[in-house]
Structure 1
Amino acid sequence: MLYVITGPPAGGKSTWIQAHATPRDIVIDMDRIASALTGPGAPGWNQDTVVQRVAQRARFAAIDEAVKHLDEVDVYLIHTMPGPKALARYRRLGARMVVVDPGEDTVRERVRSMRSTAMDRVVTRWYRHYRRQGSQPVTAQSSRDW
């Protein structure tokens, strides 16, 4: 099964996956990929342009390979704000969409305390997009201690 986990930055997507995935499952997460591609001491949420470009290419390759094995393993894919083309692909693959959103106030507080100020714009964009779509979160669970 393909699980596509969406939600705002600092919403608890990784924590949701930790609670549901098994050691044998495949987890595709830009933060984890960027961390694996950078040296010691790099920030956990690395927004460096070159790092993001390389990590994005690795992510695309990982997705393309992982979906070939959906009959063998579950795949958990974090995609904060998938566009129409990605959503169509996920539908074709029979993905289960999971929205993890603890609420805008909680997310904004987490971003203020843990992330760069640039992420605040992504939070605003995410909430505008999902309000327009009329989407409701699948879970409003709390995530890790922030």
Structure 2
Amino acid sequence: MLYVITGPPAGGKSTWIQAHATARDIVIDLDRIALALTGPGAPQWNQEAHVQRVAQRARFAAIDEAIKLRDDVDVYLIHTMPSPKARARYQRLGARIVVVDPGEDVVRERVRAMRSEGMDRVVTRWYRDYRRGGSRPVTPQASRAW
């Protein structure tokens, strides 16, 4: 099964996956990929353009391979704001879309506490264009203690 986990930055997507995935499952998380591609001491959420470029290419390759295995193992894919084209692809693949959103106030507090200033713009865009742009299922998710 393919699970596409969406939601705002710092919304608890990774925590949701930790609660549901097993060690045998495949987890595709751009933040984890970027961290794996950087040297010791790199920030957990690395937004540098060169890191993101390489991590995105690795993510695309991982998605292409993992969807071939979705009948044998569960595949968990974090996609914060899938485009209409991406959502259509996920639907064709029979994905279960899970939206994890603890609420805008909680998300903004988490972003202020541990993310870069630029991430606040992504939160604004998510709530303006994605979440409020149409009716989608929302999973209020209690996350780790921030």
Work out whether the TM-score is over 0.5: yes
Counterparts of 1:135 and 1:3 in 2: how far apart (Å)?
Answer: 15
Partner of 1:131: 132
Partner of 2:120: 120
Corresponding position: 1:64 with 2:64: yes
Contact 2:7-2:101 within 8 A present in 1 as well? yes
Moved more, 40-49 or 128-137: 128-137
Moved more, 128-137 or 88-97: 128-137
Mark the runs of 5 or more structure 1 residues left unpaired by the alignment: none
The one-letter code matched in structure 2 to 1:28 is: I
The one-letter code matched in structure 1 to 2:74 is: D
- Counterparts of 1:9-88 in structure 2, within 5 Å, are 9-88=9-88
**Alpha carbons of structure 1 residues 136 and 59: separation in structure 2 relative to 1, 3 Å:** same
What TM-score do you get using the length of structure 2 for normalisation? 0.97
What TM-score do you get using the length of structure 1 for normalisation? 0.97
Contact 2:2-2:74 within 8 A present in 1 as well? yes
Counterparts of 2:70 and 2:135 in 1: how far apart (Å)?
Answer: 30
1:21: how far off? Answer: 0.2
What is the identity percentage for the equivalent residue pairs of Structure 1 and Structure 2?
79
1:136: how far off? Answer: 4.0
The one-letter code matched in structure 2 to 1:134 is: S
- The secondary structure found in structure 1 opposite 2:116 is coil
Counterparts of 1:61 and 1:140 in 2: how far apart (Å)?
Answer: 31
- The secondary structure found in structure 2 opposite 1:97 is strand
Counterparts of 1:87 and 1:112 in 2: how far apart (Å)?
Answer: 29
- Over 4 Å off, 4+ runs: none
The alignment yields a C-alpha RMSD, in angstroms, of: 0.7
Mark the runs of 5 or more structure 2 residues left unpaired by the alignment: none
Partner of 2:5: 5
